[in-house]
Structures are given as structure tokens and as C-alpha cells.
Amino acid sequence: MRILGIIPARYASTRFPAKALADIGGKSMIRRVFEQSVKSTQLDNVIVATDDERIFEHVLSFGGNVVMTSQDHHSGTDRCYEALTKTEGLYDYVINIQGDEPFINPEPINQLAAVLDGETELATLVKVIDNDEILFSPNVPKAVLNKKNEVMYFSRQTIPYIRNSDKDQWLHAHTFYKHIGIYAYRSDVLSEITKLPVSSLEKAEALEQLRWLENGYSIKAVVTSDDSHGVDTPDDLARVTKKFL
């Protein structure tokens, strides 16, 4: 299987404009994401997909691969598909790597790539939840898996509901999973899902991946022990910088 890693990087961001170019210990955020991603042993190529000339020129300046994409995309998935169509060579799968995780560990990328066997349509990462703050936070999407480690549903709500149990005991009664937003798409499926209209479940939960489930696609879940460290605000940047540098 040939796998293309794509790092979507928009310039505009409501809470943190130009965060892709934010300095982190002498390197930009997007450079750190790129350099971590190319350490993956399972990716045949890694590119940045941006909508901004400043990011485009910056990636070129440090020797990275980059393609210019439309400013009109509503999701990283849509940007990944355009980038795939503009990249030379044939790829069986695309892995969408978050552009705001400057210290991403390449091993979870390898774990995700390991299930891309030609049959898998879509895949993503999940992590066992181990504290109540994450379990009950509506800002942390949860995933429910079937016996084949396929995702049955994603929700901002805590699911499943544990009947006849106090909430402070829920973690002892069931294994809950946090969704980590890195996706793998089979290339033909990526083309198909970008043409789907927004679904009712997606609108309700504001979770793009529910559109795929609602339209009958299967999403393989890979359980990882690694966690995500995304940067949405300047405060997040200070937090992750302190943790890793």
C-alpha cells in the first residue's frame, strides 16, 4: 500500500490566526509537524496542503513539500482530497495529519497505517479515557466500538450511559474511548465522501465523521496509548511548549 501523509494548514483561525507559523523554540508549528510526520516509517510521502502564500513559501524555505489549495474548503478532509489530486503519483491511502500538533509522535501514524490493507475504507485513532474530566467534557468526542473495532458512533455526549451506577463509578463499569482526530482514507472513498452533503447527525453533534457513518461507510478504530496535544489557542501553545521543550 502506498500512503500519502497530508498536513492541512489554513492561515485563518478564529481563536489563533496564523498559528501554523507560530514560533515554537525556533521552529514554526507547521515545520515541527512536518518534521515529526516524515519520521513515520509507513508514509511514502508527506505534503503540506495550505490556502495561504505565506505558509506555502515558508514550507518551501525549510525544504518541505507543499501544495496550494482553495480557501473555500470547509474541512481538512476536503483540503486533503484537493491536495491528493494535485500530487504526482498514485496512492492507495491518505492519512490526514493535524497541522496543529507540533509534537506529534510518529508511532501512532504507523499504528494507523498498519490497518490500511485495501479493504479498510476509513480509519482513525482512539484512546482509553482514564479520568472523569475528559469523560464528561462535551469538547472531547467519544467513540463507541463494535467487536471488530469499527466505530458505531461518535458523540460529544458520554456514551454509553451506565444505568444504575453513579457517574463517579462509570470509568470502573465500562471502557470509554476518546477520539483522536487523525484520519486515514482509502483514496476512492476520500473522493466519494467529499461529495456528500452535510448530514443530520453531523449538524447535531458538529462532528464531520458522522456524515460518513450516516452514509454507510465503515471506520476502523485503532486503539493507541499515545495522546493528542493540539494547539487551538495561544494558551494551548504555551502549555505544549512547556511540556515538550
Locate the domains of the chain by residue range: 1-114, 121-179+187-225
Is residue 245's pLDDT more than 90? no
Per-residue pLDDT reduced to its tens digit, 7-45: 999 998 778 889 999 999 999 999 999 999 999 999 999
pLDDT band (50, 70, 90) for residue 229: confident
Q: Which CATH architecture has domain 1-114?
A: Alpha-Beta Complex (3.90)
Per-residue pLDDT reduced to its tens digit, 78-127: 999 999 999 999 999 999 999 999 999 999 999 999 999 999 999 999 99
The hierarchical CATH code for the domain 121-179+187-225 is 3.90.550.10
Asked if the domains 1-114 and 121-179+187-225 are classified in one and the same CATH topology, the answer is yes
Is residue 134's pLDDT more than 90? yes
Say what percent of the chain tops pLDDT 70. 100
Say what percent of the chain tops pLDDT 90. 91
What does pTM read for this prediction? 0.96
Is residue 225's pLDDT more than 80? yes
- Report the alpha-carbon distance of residue 76 to residue 54 in Å, rounded: 19
**Is 88 within 8 Å of 65 (Cβ atoms)?**
no
Q: What is the pLDDT of residue 158?
A: 98
Is residue 243's pLDDT more than 80? yes
**Across the chain, where does the E strand assignment appear?**
3-9, 23-24, 27-28, 45-50, 66-68, 93-96, 122-128, 142-145, 151-155, 177-186, 219-223
In eight-state DSSP terms, residue 24 is: E
Q: What rounded mean pLDDT belongs to the chain?
A: 96
β-pairing, 45-50 vs 3-9, is parallel
Q: What is the pLDDT of residue 228?
A: 87
